[in-house]
Amino acid sequence: MREEILKARIQKFKQEYLESPEGRAHYQTEFREQGDIQTTYKELLEKRATGQDITSTVLEHLLPYNNTQGNRQRGVHISTWPCITKDIRSWFENAGWKNATEWPEVAIWIMDIAQAGQTENWENWGELAKKPIQKGFQDGFITPIVHCLNPKLPVINNKVVETFQNVTTELGLKVEITNALKDYPTNQMRLRELVERLRPLGLNDLLEWDIFCHWNVAKRLGKNAVIEPATSLVVAISPPILPKTPNEKSYDNVQVLVEELRAAQYDTKDPARFEKAIAKAFQFLGFEAEQFGGPGKADVIAVAALGEDSFSVVIDGKTGQPGEPRTNLNYPPIKAHQEENAADYALVVAESYRSGDTITHATTQKVGLLETGLLILLVEETAKSGLSQYWLKQVFSQVGLISCAQLEKNLNTHRDLVRAMPMVLGIFENFQRRDETSPVLEAHAIQLALKVNKIKLPSEYIEYTLALLSNPLVGILEKQVQGYILTMPAHLAHLRLAELTSALAKAPYD
């Protein structure tokens, strides 16, 4: 029965995607990339043989980059197996994995390990995977090159690992793969064996398997799929863990999440409970977050989708007794998880931390220490008004103890901006609607009127308010040649904004 269900799923994939114009284009793009990488690699071998510097070419035209505006402008190799969203030099240097002088050695190492994979020299591969210069690189960076040079070897990246786990679970197989370079010789054999097993079910080769992985993850299947035992495949996508709109229902769920975070941090008998609560909290903050846990795995991985500015965080949850600050944190495994998952930042979440060496070592290791209370604060503020993930990036990029004062300062800045809106509308009500001789109002006049009332607002706050309220989508103000005019009584303005809020709350985002 399991194989019949999986067979139906594969047929759905082929009919819905692989045999569509989009799927056929995807297939041809992957096939074409094999030829492109083979040509680039051959040219690099020739340059290396004559002693030419190959650093920039390797980094920019051999590694797999995501199709972002910045990457297109840089002219780097846009891949169908992307894992690099930004400039790799600044990314790895900021993460502490490389310094500026090491890149020529990195380029040579990439060429060597690609060749070891191409020739299936796994002994040499193992030695290269142990070299310190490989720090930061995992299968997602290297195996697309290897696959293009030797198409019978598979790409292994996060999509592949997730789909492999999903498919083997459905088949009742107790086997796993990772995206660690050192494990690739074993993992590629396991993956090839699985693809052979799937051939009678409809997947013909590694290329189709790879596209199946893309479809599986893009369609949010895998562990989120509910497959019912029937003659046809039924896939139900599970709803978000928490509602995304701050209404009464979502507030109740936020309270449940907050109480679970508070209780789970003390459940030393079941650390996975705290990890799950942390994952749910990051999901509520807008991240794609998943709890893993277990030996050799990160507790939680969270990804913020911001295009070229996307960032990821590996998170370690630490339970403990109430009122006992955490000490003696073991940083090497946390940093290893960060490196294995090519994450931008590493965090530990616990009730509190002892000052002194604990924080000093975290700073040295470039690990952020996030107290559960601050995570709860972020969840509660998200429920009230939402938080920008660009701003959250600033928070989670801190090392050592993450500062509550800094969080409050940023939150208060947002609150000040919100409070500026009714103040500006009040000036329009008083000077325009109650005095028919008043001209249109512009930003400087509004600022002077506020000063008369002993209210000091930065000029940019006024400009932000005017720009928002005069946007045609809002239409509370009308822009004129020399200023702005209020289009309705100020006390009715909230109705226009409430209409927009209602529309956003009902939008089908998933």
Q: How much is the average pLDDT of 485-494? A: 90
Going through 435-476 in order, the beta strands assigned E by DSSP cover none
Residues 395, 423: one domain? no
**pLDDT more than 70, % of the chain:** 90
State yes or no: pLDDT of 244 exceeds 50. no
**Residue carrying the six token digits 């900021």:** 94
Is residue 10 in a domain? yes
Centroid of chain to Cα 36? 29
Q: Specify the DSSP element, H or E, that contains 163.
A: helix 158-170
Residues 98 and 180 in one domain: yes
Residues 396, 271 share a domain = yes
CATH at 481? 1.10.10
Instruction: Give tens-digit pLDDT for 81-119.
Output: 998 988 999 989 988 899 999 999 999 999 999 999 999
Asked if residue 222 and residue 258 are part of one domain, the reply reads: no
Average pLDDT, the chain: 86
Flag whether 499 is in a domain.
yes
Residue 223's pLDDT is: 41
Integer Cα distance of 432 and 3 in angstroms:
73
The per-residue pLDDT for 433 is 66
* Rounded alpha-carbon distances, angstroms, from residue 157 to 87, 139, 142, 168: 19, 6, 10, 16
* 316 — pLDDT class (breaks 50, 70, 90): very high
145 shares its domain with 169: yes
Considering the domain architecture, whether residues 7 and 123 belong to the same structural domain is answered as: yes
pTM of the full structure? 0.69
Q: Residue 380: in which H helix or E strand, if any?
A: helix 372-385
The three-state secondary structure class of 1 is: coil
Indicate the residue among 379, 402, 425 that finishes a domain: 402
Task: Note whether 386 and 346 are same-domain residues.
Answer: yes
- Structural domain count of the chain: 3
Is residue 241 domain-resident?
no
Nearest alpha carbon to residue 117 among 159, 148, 140, 77:
148
- Return the bridge partners of 226, or none: 236
Same domain, 170 and 314: no
- The Cα angle at residue 298 between residues 292 and 301, in degrees rounded to 5: 75
Amino acid symbol at 211: I
Domain end call among 184, 211, 235 = 235
In the prediction, which pLDDT does 241 show? 34
Q: Are residues 465 and 386 in the same domain?
A: no
Structural domain of 297: 248-402
Q: Is residue 242 part of a domain?
A: no
Which amino acid is located at 13 in the chain?
F
Within its chain, how far is the Cα of 20 from the centroid? 29
The mean pLDDT value for 269-292 works out to 94
Last residue of a domain, one of 353, 382, 402: 402
Q: What is the pLDDT of residues 146-198, one digit of tens each?
A: 999 999 999 999 889 989 988 998 888 989 998 889 999 999 999 999 999 99
pLDDT more than 90, % of the chain: 51
CB 117 within 8 A of CB 104: no
Read off the CATH number of the domain in which 283 is found: 3.40.91.70
Burial zone of 278 (CB within 10 Å; 0-12 exposed, 13-18 middle, 19+ buried): buried
Can you tell me whether residue 382 is helix, strand or coil? helix
| Domain-located, residue 240 | no
For residues 197 and 329, state if they share a domain.
no
**Do residue 127 and residue 253 come from a single domain?**
no
The band of 438, judged by pLDDT with boundaries at 50, 70 and 90, is low
pLDDT at position 406: 64
The answer on 221 and 271 residing in a single domain is: no
Mean pLDDT of 354-375: 92
Contact 281, 317 (CB under 8 A): no
Closest by Cα among 83, 82, 147 to 120: 147
